[in-house]
Amino acid sequence: MTLGLLSRQRWRIATTLSAVMIVVYFGFVLLVAFDKPLVGTIIAPGLSVGVLLGALVIVAAWIVTWIYVRWANSHLDRRVSELRAAGPPA
Amino acid sequence: MLGTTMLGTPNSTSIGFFLAFVSLTLGITWWAARHTRTTEEFFAAGRRITGRQNGFALAGDYMSAASFLGIAGLVATSGFDGLIYSTGWLVGWPVVLFLIAEPLRNLGRYTFTDVVSFRLRQRPVRIAAALGALAVVLLYLIAQMVGAGNLIRLMFGLSYETAIVIVGAVMLVYVLFGGMIATTWVQIVKAALLLGGAALLALLVLARFGFNPLRLFAAAAEHYGAAVLAPGKLISSPWEAVSLGLALMFGTAGLPHILMRFYTVPDARAARQSVFWATGLIGCFYLLTFVLGFGAMVLVGHDAIVAVDKGGNMAAPLLAEALGGTPLLGFIAAVAFATILAVVAGLTLSGAAALSHDLWVSVVRHGNAPHEEQLKVARIASVMLGVLAVALGLLFKGQNVAFMVGLAFALAASGNFPALVLSIYWQGFTTAGAVAAIVTGTLTAATLICLSPTVQIDILHHAHAWFPLKNPALVSMPLAFLAAVVVSLAAPEAAASAGYAAKERRMILGEQ
């Protein structure tokens, strides 16, 4: 794999995961802004839709972080060491 | 409950815990001072911090007393709304990981300005970016110092001025003698104490509710109505919500003291691991804070909390006293004090790096300053910032500083983040584009804050504000990106574009 290809692959993964985080977080914020009654709905004793979704935003941040680290630790690091071993381009 | 609180009276437990923390950290500083001989050790801890250690230190740098006491207080007084802030402060971290952390480590040495100026003309970019960094650092410092003075007065009964001088002096000892090595370990110790303290309090709260947070929330809803689990006044309009969200999410990726921490680890892999740890720790911390806020609401009571401090900032210390008496109160008070010290030290060090590495060494001396001179200038800059921090703390006494943290995040998201991310990923980015992005973002954000309801109505008591939003990021951040793109496209820079391939290679593979 060439450096340019690896760089583009990293860019695709980084932007996709960033977009997921942006959609999740701004989805939450906009839901709070536009539909307060829904967010305040109690779904179980002590639990509202808002509290559940807020906790899920935190969990979502952990999940996307974990996905990236897993990909980078296995795939990215291996390709990087291959490219480093191959030496500078002619 | 009220009237029996020991809060605000200096007691032997809190002073004992605080002295123990200061002795331990001064011991660390003494040890660190013997390993701080080069600029690389002073600014980057010799790049020998591991990923996990740096994760704790990042969390220590980020979890300020404002977020511990402030969010617990916001939850205790208005319930659900506190969660909106917590999530906003956490979601910036994955963005830092995906877009910034590894390229930053591979391309720079001490400051994020290294990366912005990488293939551009050094002097204009360095000057603009260093000033942008200093603006964020100074605002953040004012907010921390004024907060510190108020909190310490409330908790220990010391005068505001004494508290400010103690914070300034102890922090300066860490930075001056122990540099980044001491600052890093102070932050690690502080992060462990803060998380440990918050976890202990949360366990003690949950023990009263069968270790089920839902029973705690249900008890709160029974006392104060189901409204505590629903959105309150924090988000007034969708525009306001999105603007605040943008500042919180992208501001983290533009905070100089956070970005500087990525240079303390040996390589990009360790930089990645450190964000992994930081995201986990900070997320846990905010979940714990949510439990503490509701615990204080139920066990201490809304009226007792507001009676001590209108903003609710004393909710967590009062909860500690209700659960564990004076010893636990003393411990939590000392942890809050330690928290302030660590954050202020990190800020001072990053400001010193901007002054000495970016402005003195790179701009004034064209990158050719002897080693001893660099270290000397770094220490002089630290003293200047320490004195400035104390002076600003005294000057802004009694001001509402909550908006300054918001402004610091908005400035970071508008002034620093666009230039940083474009310099890393856009081949067509130019010197003029970088300067335009930083100047436009910083000036627009600062101007709009001055015209916002927070300053015009709340502080100056004018009848109306020129700009409707409390947070300017929704306007200033897109404007900074627009300025960068328009200026870069209008006058392409061949040398910058030609340097992109070498930059890309180093960004992915590191220094070879």
CA distance B290 to B82: 7
Residues 6+ apart with CB under 8 A from B398: none
Convert the pLDDT of each residue in A13-72 to its tens digit: 999 999 999 999 999 999 998 888 999 999 999 999 999 999 999 999 999 999 999 999
Task: Say which DSSP state B119 is in.
Answer: T
Contact B87 A77 (CB under 8 A): no
Convert the pLDDT of each residue in B274-296 to its tens digit: 999 999 999 999 999 999 999 99
Mean pLDDT of B4-28: 82
Q: Tell me, what's the ipTM?
A: 0.95
The answer to whether residue B488 scores a pLDDT higher than 50 is yes
Contact A45 B214 (CB under 8 A): yes
CB B167 within 8 A of CB B344: yes
Give all domains of chain B, ordered by start, each with its CATH number.
12-400 (1.20.1730.10)
Residues in B closer than 8 angstroms to A33, CB to CB, are 235, 237-238, 240-242
> Quick one: which of B482, B496, B485 has its CA closest to B117?
B496
Convert the pLDDT of each residue in B99-127 to its tens digit: 999 999 999 999 999 999 999 999 999 99
CA distance B487 to B107: 24
Phi and psi of A43, rounded to 5°?
Answer: -105, -15
More confident residue, B434 or B156: B434
Mean pLDDT of B226-248: 87
Q: H or E stretch including B447?
A: helix B431-450
The answer to whether residue B235 scores a pLDDT higher than 80 is no
Please provide the average confidence, as pLDDT, over all residues in chain B.
Answer: 91
CB B294 within 8 A of CB B202: no
Contact B275 A65 (CB under 8 A): yes
Contact A68 B505 (CB under 8 A): no
Give A48's strand partners: A42
Paired tokens of B248 = 């919180």
pLDDT attached to residue B497: 92
Nearest to A61 among B91, B240, B272 (CB): B91
Convert the pLDDT of each residue in B456-478 to its tens digit: 888 788 888 889 888 899 999 99
pLDDT attached to residue B172: 93
The answer to whether residue A88 scores a pLDDT higher than 80 is no
CB B120 within 8 A of CB B496: yes
Q: Name the pLDDT band for B2 (thresholds 50, 70, 90).
A: very low
Contact B219 A46 (CB under 8 A): yes
The answer to whether residue A90 scores a pLDDT higher than 70 is no
Amino acid in the structure at residue B251: G
Burial of B458 (C-beta count, 10 Å sphere; 0-12/13-18/19+): middle
CA distance B148 to B161: 10
Residues in B closer than 8 angstroms to A4, CB to CB, are 504
pLDDT attached to residue A50: 94
Amino acid in the structure at residue B457: I
- Per DSSP, helices labelled H in B63-118 are 65, 71-78, 81-95, 102-107, 112-116
Q: Name the pLDDT band for B233 (thresholds 50, 70, 90).
A: confident
Q: Name the pLDDT band for B26 (thresholds 50, 70, 90).
A: very high
Residues 6+ apart with CB under 8 A from B50: B265, B270, B273
Sign of CA dihedral B192, B320, B25, B350: positive
Paired tokens of A66 = 């974990």
> Quick one: which of B496, B512, B463 has its CA closest to B122?
B496
pLDDT attached to residue B465: 86
Q: What is the CA radius of gyration of chain B?
A: 22
